Amino acid sequence: MRDPAPTDRTQANGVMPAAFLGHGTPMNALDVNRYTRAWAAFGASVPTPRAILMVSAHWYVNASALTAMAEPRTIHDFYGFPDELFAVAYPAKGDPEMAAEVAEVVKPTQIGLDADSWGLDHGTWSVLVHAFPDADVPVVQLSINAAKSLDDHVALGAALAPLRERGVLILGSGNVVHNLGMVNWSQPDAGTEWARRFDDDAAEMMISNPADIASLVAHPDYRLAVPTPDHFIPLLYLAGLAAAAGQQPEVLVDGYAYGSLSMTSYALGSGLDPVVGAGEAGLAVPDVPADETNI
């Protein structure tokens, strides 16, 4: 079981940290590498949350919704992977009361409550099996509304800020650079020049001016780095939280996989030292569904 004692930094201000985790291939759920170790270190560093609110790239739909079931199912939203990955279960409880509280906090933005259709997709459980391996913290997912602009998502992230003072750990799970169509299996732990360029510029903005992160849509490499916005948008929620707090996120871990995936993760208020430098790719994946398939 996890130590419920808060870190000194969190005790001082009573505010829960937050993070964006670059999740990469679902096989990272089974792998141990420097990315999964960074996720584990982050989970171990925070005080035990009252609940986790997760914004996953893989619940990308034309609606704003929160999971509001008491026992969310583990969703294996992929194909072509080994049986051992389909056997992974993450039996965290849900928290319908907290879901209703989230919906109230962000008003006048309207968010519906989903009591039976979704659950915990692999964007959520592939990182939580490392960050919170006991599955002893309730988890609520917030959908990414595909009909909203990037600025809308930054604003919604900022609107969630009061939850950090109520013991809620807010996490985003996606990838800053995510182009499956340009995966290069011969570069398991490297990034192309355009991927590195976009990731570096995103990092500079996150650290210096997170409120303007949506302006990266004008970046010359945006269309290559973000061919669809589903994996990029979870980063905007951490940017919104950082802007609301007037704080700068720090890089938790960085690196690349297969040329066209950035594994960079960010933390807000964690106090952890970053893990930077040459990477370790997750296990190779034989097949993945197309982006935006659940719209």
39 closest CA partner among 169, 178, 141, 156: 169
Q: What is the pLDDT of residue 284?
A: 46
Alpha-helix runs per DSSP H in the chain: 8-13, 34-45, 83-86, 96-105, 122-131, 150-159, 193-208, 222-225, 233-245
Tell me which residue of 54, 272, 61, 38 sits closest to 172, measured CA to CA.
54
Q: What's the pLDDT tens digit per position in 241-254? A: 999 999 999 999 99
Record the tokens describing residue 221, joined without a space.
Answer: 């490499």
Does the pTM surpass 0.75? The reply is: yes
**Helix/strand/coil for 257:** strand
Closest CA to 253 of 24, 27, 39: 39
Question: What confidence tens digit (pLDDT) does each residue in 178-225 have?
Answer: 999 999 999 999 999 999 999 999 999 999 999 999 999 999 999 999
pLDDT band at 10; cut points 50, 70, 90: very low
